[in-house]
Structure 1
Amino acid sequence: MTTTSLTLREVRTPDDFAAIAAVLSAADPDWPATPELLQAEDEARDRQLYFTQRVAEQEGRVVGVMHAGHDDFAFEPHRYSGKIVVHPDARRQGVGSALYAEALRVLQAREQQEQLGRLVLRTMLPDSEQTGIHFLKARGFEGVWQRYDLRLHTARVDYGTLDALEPRLQQAGVRLVSLASLAGEPERDRWLWALDWQLFQDVPMGQTLTQRPLEAWVQQELLDPMFRPELSFVALRDGLDDPESGPFIGYTTLMQSPGGFYMIGMTGVRRQDRGLGVARALKLASMRALQQQGGGEIRTYNDAPNVAMRRMNEQLGFELAVIRRRYELTLQTGAVQP
């Protein structure tokens, strides 16, 4: 498909990853991408779910990328999550519009084949991306969800709070250990996978969640190149032998972005073990481990209804940096227009 000097084509993996990473990094320098991360993400993708992606080229140079597909974290056959990114040098030249039209063409054709009757498109943007938000709203997208991006530096954390919590946890038979130290436990991954699914049932995310298969979860979470097991901690209760999660009662994970900052992936504690300060202790243990390695900025993300977790994060010193919103568009199959 060609529009003047613009050519759209399917992505060639892994050959296009370097060019795609360059576009993503130029469009959002705060969240740089690398070919290695893109390849790892591609290898971890569930091949049973639908996924498509295109690049836009001008005179042989990749200037834009589009991807859309089923979300294995919240799978619904008629709903697709995606994104369109255009290099800053190529904006206002119809690149984004062409990629969007191509996405609609491909997804509409698939929906007609599957006869599901409707098509729901979903994406997320920070409030600072006014050009992208205008692009979405002009095509009928509406903001349906709000997420807070909170940040702090480990040098500003009061670790005395953790020292005060540890005796209480010890009295309750709870220990905090790094996931790296549990690498020799053959059941670690299965216990953590089961606990993760249990904990996510209580996270208000505005969508119906689906559990990923164990193998896919491990590949996407624990084998993610950004994952730092020595900075991620699990809370375990001595003597507990839950049939699904073993002795694990809570955990927190930390990942390191190519941009140099760190991200909390998940922090949670079983319902029956809340009230002891386990979640707070897990976060503090992770932050302290990072500080002992030189420190750095940590980012965490709270959906708007998750008031309790946001309040705890703010008490730890996290400050609001960015508001992100999820946008959705619902179309009846056969009525899709670019």
Structure 2
Amino acid sequence: MPTTIVPRVIALDTDRLTASLPRGYRARPFEERDRAPWIAERNTWYGLMEQGSAEEWRIWEAMSPDDSLLRLVVEDESGRIAAMADVSNGGAFRHPDGAQSGGVSVARPDRGKGIASSLLAVILDEAVRRKAPRFLAGASAAHPDSLEWAAKRGFREIGRRIESYVELASFDPSPFSAGVDEVRRSGIALRTIDEILDGRDGESRERFIRALHDAEKPMWEDIPWATPTPHWPFERFRQIAFESGQMISDASVIAYDGETIAALTTTGKRESLDGYTWMTGVGRAYRGRGIATAIKVEALLRAKAKGLRAMLTTNDEPNKAMREINAKLGYQLLPAHVQLEKPLLH
């Protein structure tokens, strides 16, 4: 596992924020020791398949350090964390117009006291200082009170991202076998990234990574994102996908038509039990031939053989084609992540 790098977090004078909080609370910059207790609190808000860990949070931030990140916590007199807020330029997925992303969360015992409003004012002020035209946030569709709170403060819904999962122990590939065989008979070869890279030297490995990045770009551009999300630069792609240690390369499947990458599905680690589909895409000239289903089935079989518990994925709501494929494969829906936007005045 790569060395953990804790990204630098921008500090802020918190005295003014503390003065706006209810008596008995104080604000301070986020510290590394805050991860575990805050995750423990957040896990009480979500179902089992939506819960996380401090280590997973730490790994993802180490994969893509974000020097624009401002993160604050509010604690009570005992030192218990009551709330957290953050703002950044989007990190790995920066917005072309300079929009800032972030949010505010408050522990259940501390809600209804004005803490969230005080935190929101601070991070919106910071976004305005950065000359951001808008602020992007989100909330679970399972938390209508959060959505109502945001709407009252000028946020509007701009999209929904739908997470789902399939339990691998019960996944049965037999209903899809004929379709997968037909794809193979058409001349499409299905190979894992682990198989593709086996025995390659550094130069050959680099050529494959670049070819994969180039093949992914038009697929990425066809995703119906709620807000413009440019394809990540090659160096960032290589670092996150191939140097972070988080890809499950023997459950990441590439479909080849000769030497041409026709489709791909890449899988990353999620905690120690599950896999997570990072990206599934099919080249524009190869769509409508069942290739997406074939590579998904192959990836699920590989993940099941590894003893993983589940495979998770996220799709934008308008991406009906992929959502229908996942439904046929037995994926179960989790509450949607509602994407929110607030225009900022300067």
Contact kept in structure 2, 1:40 and 1:225, CA below 8 Å: no
* Equivalent runs, 1:232-251 vs 2, <5 Å: 232-238=252-258, 240=259, 247-251=260-264
Q: Cα distance, 1:10 vs. partner?
A: 2.3
Identity %: 21
Alignment correspondent of 2:76: 58
- 1:122 and 2:136 equivalent? yes
Alignment correspondent of 1:139: 153
Deviation by residue 1:166-202 (Cα, 9 ceiling, x = unmatched): 4433333321122222344413322222222221111
Residues 95 and 325 (structure 1), Cα distance of their counterparts in 2 relative to 1, 3 Å cut:
same
Alignment correspondent of 1:170: 184
Alignment correspondent of 1:38: 57
Separation in 2 of the partners of 1:23 and 1:148?
23
Alignment correspondent of 1:188: 208
Deviation by residue 1:212-237 (Cα, 9 ceiling, x = unmatched): 22222233344556532222211123
Q: Cα distance, 1:329 vs. partner?
A: 0.9
- 1:10 and 2:29 equivalent? yes
RMSD: 2.6
Separation in 2 of the partners of 1:285 and 1:177?
9
Q: Cα distance, 1:96 vs. partner?
A: 2.0
Separation in 1 of the partners of 2:308 and 2:39?
27
How many residue pairs match? The answer is 318
Alignment correspondent of 2:43: 25
Matched residue SS, 2:130: helix
Deviation by residue 1:240-287 (Cα, 9 ceiling, x = unmatched): 2xxxxxx42211123343384443221111111223321101110111
Contact kept in structure 1, 2:37 and 2:81, CA below 8 Å: yes
* TM-score, length-scaled by structure 1: 0.83
Alignment correspondent of 2:240: 220
Residues 222 and 65 (structure 1), Cα distance of their counterparts in 2 relative to 1, 3 Å cut:
farther
- 1:270 and 2:283 equivalent? yes
Residues 141 and 70 (structure 1), Cα distance of their counterparts in 2 relative to 1, 3 Å cut:
same
Match of 1:254 among 241, 245, 267: 267
More helix as a share of residues: 2
Matched residue SS, 1:50: coil
Structure 1 gap segments, 5+ residues each = 112-117, 241-246, 334-338
Match of 2:324 among 305, 311, 320: 311
Separation in 1 of the partners of 2:156 and 2:108?
25
Aligned amino acid, residue 207 of structure 1:
T
Structure 2 gap segments, 5+ residues each = 1-14
Please, which moves more after superposition, 140-149 or 256-265? 256-265
Alignment correspondent of 1:329: 342
Please, which moves more after superposition, 208-217 or 124-133? 208-217
Please, which moves more after superposition, 77-86 or 197-206? 77-86
Separation in 1 of the partners of 2:341 and 2:76?
29
